[in-house]
Amino acid sequence: MILGRWEGFMATGYTIKRNQYFDSVFLMQVAKRLSEEPGIEQVAALMGTEKNKGLLAEIGFENAEISSAAANDLIIALKGKSPSTIEVILENLDAWLFRKPVGVSKAVSRTLDEALARQPHANLAVVSLPGEYAAREARRALERGLNVFLFSSNVPVEDELSLKQYARERGLIVMGPDCGTAIIAGVGIGFANVVRPGPIGVIGSTGTGLQEFTSLVHQGGSGISHAIGTGSGDLSDATIGGISTLSALEALEADPQTNVVAVLSKPPGAKTLPLLVERLNRCRKPVVACFLGIGKYPSENDIGFETARTLDEAAALATQLAPGKPVVRTGVGSQEVQALVAKERAGMAPEQKYIRGIFAGGTFCYQAQQVMREAGLVVYSNAPLDGMLSLADPLRSEAHTLVDMGAEMFTEGRPHPMIDATLRRERILAEAQHPQVAVLLLDFILGYNASPDPVGDLLETIAEAKSTASQRGGYLSVVASMCGTEADPQNLREQTRALEEGGVVVLPSSAQTALFSRTLALSL
């Protein structure tokens, strides 16, 4: 344990735990809990990779000892209001790193071989290592006949291609890299929601897209056989060409528990798209495809499957095609929307006209841009859809702005906003300072590994933002979607109720919140 000097009313301290590896999701959760301690201003909980040591240097932690840390060494770095605050945490760090086993043996496997000795019938390995080391372990798992869920990001493209080609040759699949979500035979992996089993299988290159689709299918009365993530780059031309997507399609087509197949992604590459369309046309089971932001399909007259513009359209189509009697989802009618628009607009000042979207889910940011574009509304974004404008500075909004807070620039060295809402809180308060802002568009994502109370993390901030607008004679409309189910540990009903009691307009899907926000903005 090393404590820094107390300079400028800020104390610093760090510790290095040699040869103790922890996965990134767990460390994000540890960092979030530490940041909530009184007197703690900044936390970094990282493995000692070269990239992570560079991130630590950027926030003022750089010396020979940190430089000597290896990729299997854990570094915890803190900034706080006093040396004693930091000292107490670092001296008791083991308590923060303790993971209580839940319903499993306390025995810990340190190698893949040890794990297979304990579970010889396993057919899936989850890999969550720094990107430069992940490919090696993923290949070892494939060599042992295991499918791979590769959570790691920053895996070189050539390694991804090699892994996926190797897997396909052996009848296996690599989900990832940068795969955040999957549900395999009812078991959620990564960021996943609790949904009932059922006849609909889904393939997606988008984690939050898979989460919303599976949640909406559940709410529609059906269920999920498998949700297979492929990684964000799987359908690109220059790199992968859809290898994992095609492998997943073959698996679901052969799976007796799957009656309907859905495919979700941003637009595939120009060369990959016709190959994928041709394969979807040959699928022996009903198919629903949702390629968010796509201009048009090749040979649209020859499309032999259902197409959807948004995630909720895709979920509704898949539910209707599946066996069983779907629940009729009422949604929000046009008259109710108009009444809500009039109510939200009533207290606004004449200068208020802009939408500011602050998203934890990158897919929801992308889909919202599509909804805006369809009405000719141009927005700025740090992840712009075709036809939209790129923010010169992602930290500063312009006119209508939709920001993906889960983008790499916001998450390097920090927990993802689905786990830690600190940066979203700061951004919400900053947007509320602008007198021309009329609508604040938010998403809340429930499920495994997400924050245990996503709404509670932001509720006071939302109230403060609304108060800021009110004090200058205006009214800030806050519109939110809730991605999850009543079976999720955060309790969907309670989360929704808390938002509504806080004066937030809560709608059933991210597409509907974007549509409502667009309608409200165009009415001003």
Tell me, what CATH number does 33's domain have?
A: 3.30.70
- 102: pLDDT strictly greater than 80: no
The answer on 162 and 48 residing in a single domain is no
Q: Are 413 and 44 in contact (CB under 8 A)?
A: yes
Confidence of residue 107 (pLDDT cuts 50, 70, 90): low
Long-range contacts of 108-117 (CB under 8 A, 24+ apart): 112/137, 112/140, 112/141, 112/144, 116/144
Q: 439: helix, coil or strand?
A: strand
The answer on 308 and 365 residing in a single domain is no
Radius of gyration over every alpha carbon of the chain, rounded to an integer in angstroms: 23
* pTM across the whole model: 0.86
What gap in Å lies between CA 27 and CA 32, rounded to an integer?
8
pLDDT (tens digit per residue) in 277-288? 999 999 999 999
The answer on 225 and 272 residing in a single domain is yes
Q: What is the DSSP string of 324-349?
A: S---------HHHHHHHHHHHHTT--
Which of 97, 125, 148 lies at the terminal end of a domain, its last residue? Answer: 97
pLDDT (tens digit per residue) in 364-397? 999 999 999 999 999 999 999 999 999 999 999 9
**How many domains does the chain contain in total?**
3
The answer on 204 and 89 residing in a single domain is no
pLDDT (tens digit per residue) in 40-49? 988 999 889 8
Longest dimension (CA), the chain: 70
Q: What is the reported pLDDT for 129?
A: 85
Q: What is the reported pLDDT for 182?
A: 97
Q: Which residue range(s) make up the domain with 273?
A: 112-321
- 101: pLDDT strictly greater than 60: no
Percentage of the chain beyond pLDDT 90 is 71
The answer on 504 and 365 residing in a single domain is yes
Which of 56, 72, 97 lies at the terminal end of a domain, its last residue? Answer: 97
The answer on 217 and 131 residing in a single domain is yes
pLDDT (tens digit per residue) in 354-368? 999 999 999 999 999
Structural domain contains residue 326: no
Q: Mean pLDDT, to the nearest integer, of 345-362?
A: 97
Chain mean pLDDT for the chain:
91
Pick the residue with more confidence: 456 or 240? 456
Q: 215: helix, coil or strand?
A: helix
What gap in Å lies between CA 163 and CA 160, rounded to an integer?
5
The answer on 121 and 54 residing in a single domain is no
The answer on 153 and 54 residing in a single domain is no
Q: What is the reported pLDDT for 1?
A: 62
The answer on 270 and 176 residing in a single domain is yes
Structural domain contains residue 388: yes
Which of 275, 297, 321 lies at the terminal end of a domain, its last residue? Answer: 321
- 330: pLDDT strictly greater than 90: no
Determine which helix (DSSP H) or strand (DSSP E) holds 359, and give its type and residue range.
strand 354-359
- 154: pLDDT strictly greater than 90: no
C-alpha pair distances (Å), 165 with each of 223, 374, 448: 31, 38, 31
pLDDT (tens digit per residue) in 40-89? 988 999 889 888 888 889 888 999 999 999 988 999 999 998 888 898 89
What gap in Å lies between CA 129 and CA 253, rounded to an integer?
31
- 5: pLDDT strictly greater than 70: no
What gap in Å lies between CA 66 and CA 57, rounded to an integer?
9
Q: What is the reported pLDDT for 295?
A: 79
- 29: pLDDT strictly greater than 90: no
